[in-house]
């Protein structure tokens, strides 16, 4: 039980004893005391005034006096208006450290019995993964880890958009312009080669559109009439009809892309429990369209198209089936959601998708609710902002997006250059150094992206992210390595960590407070789908340790019992940093 829960339970007992009223501990507001006031935790007294029939100060004093008398863990208190500030005893914090030290699963919360699916990545197979995909993947993977640590069964899912006109554009360009090129013959990753095909189609379309516009067509008319666009549409029709030649080309090029994606996923440490493909799911939802028509939720227009009128909900009419009977994205998403909730008995479903799709998921939930699915309210859109780089840095060959593989490679190079400048790794074997450069580069990339609230648009600066000082991944990695170095030296001197019966100084109490907050921080991050909360918690813990280390010569402590207690304290700091950063998918080195 954390300090906040402990004090809430004791305050509940106090209210019952003093005022004869049962108030659940969960309804009491206990939070860390603000820095400008004296105390560890603060109980908000105002909601209790209707029970105590006393002034705020008198109510707070009565509860504080009871706590001091009845709880040896409470050392003192003070009241500021309607706020009771409580100071816990040194013995309490020592026992808290002992409890943390003895809990092998510290920070993993009890099972909720809930099953949650998190869908993320969901790329198109006409181009490589890019910077936007990196933020999506890092958010999806870390949120999945955090929800699992929060006691939930988590299914990591992705829906690969592997069919449609965008795929046919790459296929047509390959046939006409690439002379049988393959990843093997070009030395390119398959997803990069297919991305080059897509760019080549775009360039061809621009040329043909310009020629038609010179003949008097508008831009829209010219794009539709362009020969390459017509051929791409013809190819899509043939794909729909199961044409063997088109399907064979589609399978070959998608195979190239999947191999390329897998390499990028491995580099990022990303994996999935469930992979769906659009070619298997795009027809899902048609039965739901008929169900909606039968229920009167949908209406059919004279051209045969089917719509859901959401004007009463403050939105507009939403197309759910084209007049020719073909599906649109919302049709597929309706059917996929229905199948997943039924197949996996989901309690909730989290979609990690950029904020440009806010409207789409608002509509999805509304329609599913109108179709009678109670679980529609348990769909959550984790809407995140765009991520950009400083102008002119690390632009991909397309000139419009930042390639994920290029970015990962550049992060490795930044980490290598920065580390070699320091000169601290000269004695490390080359193989170990190379592994460390990758660890630092990925840690910098992941942390810099995840420390920002998902809802915010962010600017990613690779050089700033590698800084070994400040709120960065490498700073936390270096802090962990420093702690491990101290522990190795202590072990070599025959010293071992043990809390014992010591008096902790104020800086040590501050560190134990931060350690004690870890389980509640995991819960808060899970409740808010926010890895940023854990990232910034890790930074605060690392920063507080470094201030403590600067002021406290741990290994030069002459008192053997106090030295052992301090070794136990920093050992648990390292353990919690590994756990918290591990939930973000960031590995911490033992040497740097």
**pLDDT digit string (tens) for 564-586?**
999 999 999 999 999 999 999 99
User: How many residues can be counted in the chain?
Assistant: 592
Q: Give the count of beta carbons closer than 10 Å to the beta carbon of residue 399.
A: 7
For the chain, give the percent of residues with pLDDT over 70: 98
Do 57 and 195 belong to one domain?
no
Degrees (nearest 5) of the Cα angle 158, 161, 163?
150
Residue 557 located in a structural domain? yes
pLDDT at residue 63 greater than cutoff 70: yes
Whether the Cβ atoms of residue 66 and residue 14 lie closer than 8 Å to each other: yes
Do 461 and 548 belong to one domain?
yes
For the chain, give the percent of residues with pLDDT over 90: 84
Degrees (nearest 5) of the Cα angle 158, 160, 164?
155
What is the DSSP code string of 421-452? HHTTTTTS-HHHHHHHHHHHHHHHHHHHHHTS
Domain count, the chain: 3
Do 44 and 177 belong to one domain?
no
> Is residue 89 exposed (0-12), middle (13-18) or buried (19+ Cβ within 10 Å)?
middle
Picking from 41, 61, 88, the residue at the C-terminal end of a domain is: 88
Least confident of 9-23, 328-342, 409-423, 571-585: 409-423
Question: Residue 386 — φ and ψ, nearest 5°?
Answer: -75, 155
Do 77 and 218 belong to one domain?
no
> Is residue 505 exposed (0-12), middle (13-18) or buried (19+ Cβ within 10 Å)?
middle
Distances from the Cα of 406 to the Cα of 134, 227, 345, 382, 395, angstroms: 12, 34, 40, 26, 9
Do 413 and 557 belong to one domain?
yes
**3-state SS class at 35:** coil
Residue 216 located in a structural domain? yes
pLDDT at residue 154 greater than cutoff 50: yes
Residue 546 located in a structural domain? yes
529-550 per-position pLDDT tens digit: 999 999 999 999 999 999 999 9
Confidence of residue 283 (pLDDT cuts 50, 70, 90): confident
Residue 137 located in a structural domain? no
Residue 173 located in a structural domain? yes
Distance CA 119, CA 353 (A): 9
Structure token digits, residue 197: 């095909």
Residue 347 located in a structural domain? no
Whether the Cβ atoms of residue 539 and residue 478 lie closer than 8 Å to each other: no
Do 416 and 531 belong to one domain?
yes
Do 460 and 577 belong to one domain?
yes
User: Which CATH number does the domain housing residue 435 bear?
Assistant: 1.10.730.10
Do 75 and 218 belong to one domain?
no
- pLDDT for 400 equals 55
- pLDDT for 391 equals 60
- pLDDT for 79 equals 97
**pTM of the predicted protein model:** 0.91
Do 516 and 411 belong to one domain?
yes
Task: State the DSSP code for 123.
Answer: -
Residue 316 located in a structural domain? no
Looking at residues 246-259, what average pLDDT do you find?
A: 97
384-438 per-position pLDDT tens digit: 998 876 764 434 334 456 889 988 998 999 889 888 887 777 788 888 999 999 9
CA 226 to chain centre: 42
Do 57 and 168 belong to one domain?
no
- pLDDT for 392 equals 43
Degrees (nearest 5) of the Cα angle 23, 24, 26?
135
- pLDDT for 398 equals 43
Confidence of residue 469 (pLDDT cuts 50, 70, 90): confident
Residue 169 located in a structural domain? yes
Q: From the CA atom positions of the chain, what is the Rg in Å?
A: 29
What is the DSSP code string of 183-242? HHHHT--HHHHHHHHHHHHHHHHHHHHHHHHHTT--HHHHHHH-HHHHHHHHHHHHHHTT
Do 414 and 542 belong to one domain?
yes
Expressed as residue numbers, the domain containing 203 is 164-268
User: Which CATH number does the domain housing residue 9 bear?
Assistant: 3.30.1360.70
Residue 140: which residues within 8 A CB-CB, separation 6 or more?
Answer: 118, 119, 120, 121, 156, 352, 382
CA 346 to chain centre: 20
pLDDT at residue 173 greater than cutoff 90: yes
C-alpha dihedral sign at 447, 453, 454, 460: negative
Picking from 240, 268, 296, the residue at the C-terminal end of a domain is: 268
- pLDDT for 461 equals 77
pLDDT at residue 506 greater than cutoff 70: yes
Q: Beta strand 83-88 with 41-44: parallel, antiparallel or unpaired? A: antiparallel
104-152 per-position pLDDT tens digit: 999 999 999 999 999 999 999 998 998 889 999 999 999 999 999 999 9
Question: Residue 568 — φ and ψ, nearest 5°?
Answer: -65, -40
Picking from 33, 59, 88, the residue at the C-terminal end of a domain is: 88
Question: Residue 327 — φ and ψ, nearest 5°?
Answer: -80, 160
Whether the Cβ atoms of residue 581 and residue 269 lie closer than 8 Å to each other: no
Do 422 and 570 belong to one domain?
yes
478-497 per-position pLDDT tens digit: 999 999 999 999 999 999 99
Whether the Cβ atoms of residue 82 and residue 50 lie closer than 8 Å to each other: no
């Amino acid at each position: 039980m954390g300090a906040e829960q402990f004090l809430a339970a004791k305050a509940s007992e106090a209210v019952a004893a003093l005022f004869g009223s049962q108030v659940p501990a969960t309804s009491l507001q206990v939070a860390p005391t603000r820095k400008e006031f004296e105390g560890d935790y603060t109980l908000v007294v105002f909601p209790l005034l209707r029970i105590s029939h006393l002034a705020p100060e008198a109510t707070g004093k009565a509860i504080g006096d009871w706590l001091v008398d009845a709880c040896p863990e409470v050392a003192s208190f003070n009241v500021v208006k309607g706020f009771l500030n409580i100071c816990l005893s040194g013995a309490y914090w020592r026992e808290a450290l002992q409890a943390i030290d003895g809990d092998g699963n510290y920070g993993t919360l009890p099972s909720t019995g809930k099953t949650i699916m998190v869908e993320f990545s969901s790329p198109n197979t006409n181009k490589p993964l890019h910077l936007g995909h990196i933020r999506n993947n890092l958010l999806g993977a870390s949120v999945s880890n955090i929800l699992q640590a929060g006691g939930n069964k988590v299914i990591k899912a992705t829906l690969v958009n592997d069919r449609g006109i965008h795929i046919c554009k790459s296929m047509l360009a390959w046939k006409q312009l690439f002379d049988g090129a393959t990843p093997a013959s070009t030395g390119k990753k398959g997803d990069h080669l297919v991305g080059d095909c897509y760019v080549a189609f775009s360039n061809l379309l621009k040329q043909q559109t310009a020629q038609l516009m010179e003949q008097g067509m508008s831009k829209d008319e010219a794009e539709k009439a362009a020969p390459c666009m017509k051929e791409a549409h013809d190819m899509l029709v043939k794909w729909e009809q199961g044409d063997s030649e088109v399907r064979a080309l589609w399978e070959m090029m998608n195979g190239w892309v999947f191999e390329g994606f897998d390499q990028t996923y491995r580099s990022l440490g990303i994996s999935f429990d469930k992979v769906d493909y659009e070619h298997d799911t795009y027809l899902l939802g048609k039965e739901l369209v008929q169900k909606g028509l039968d229920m009167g939720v949908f209406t059919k227009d004279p051209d045969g198209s089917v719509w859901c009128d959401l004007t009463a909900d403050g939105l507009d009419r939403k197309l759910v089936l084209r007049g020719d009977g073909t599906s649109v994205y919302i049709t597929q998403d309706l059917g996929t959601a229905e199948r997943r909730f039924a197949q996996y008995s989901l309690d909730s479903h989290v979609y990690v998708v950029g904020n440009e799709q806010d409207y789409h998921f608002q509509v999805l939930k509304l329609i599913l609710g109108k179709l009678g699915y109670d679980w529609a309210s348990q769909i959550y859109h984790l809407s995140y902002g765009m991520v950009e780089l400083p102008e002119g840095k690390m632009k991909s060959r397309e000139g419009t997006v930042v390639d994920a593989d290029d970015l990962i490679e550049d992060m490795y190079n930044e980490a290598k250059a920065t580390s070699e400048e320091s000169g601290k790794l000269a004695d490390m074997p080359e193989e170990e150094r190379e592994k460390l450069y990758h660890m630092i580069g990925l840690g910098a990339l992941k942390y810099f992206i995840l420390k920002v609230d998902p809802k915010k648009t962010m600017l990613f600066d690779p050089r700033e992210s590698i800084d070994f000082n400040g709120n960065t991944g490498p700073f936390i990695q270096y802090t962990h390595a420093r702690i491990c170095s101290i522990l190795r030296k202590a072990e070599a001197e025959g010293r071992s960590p043990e809390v014992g019966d010591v008096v902790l100084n104020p800086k040590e109490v501050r560190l134990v407070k931060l350690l004690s907050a870890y389980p509640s921080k995991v819960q808060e991050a899970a409740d808010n789908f926010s890895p940023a909360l854990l990232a910034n918690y890790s930074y605060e813990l690392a920063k507080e340790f470094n201030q403590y280390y600067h002021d406290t010569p741990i290994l030069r402590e002459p008192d053997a019992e106090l030295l052992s207690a301090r070794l136990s304290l920093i050992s648990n700091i390292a353990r919690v940093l590994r756990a918290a950063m591990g939930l973000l998918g960031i590995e911490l080195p033992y040497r740097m």
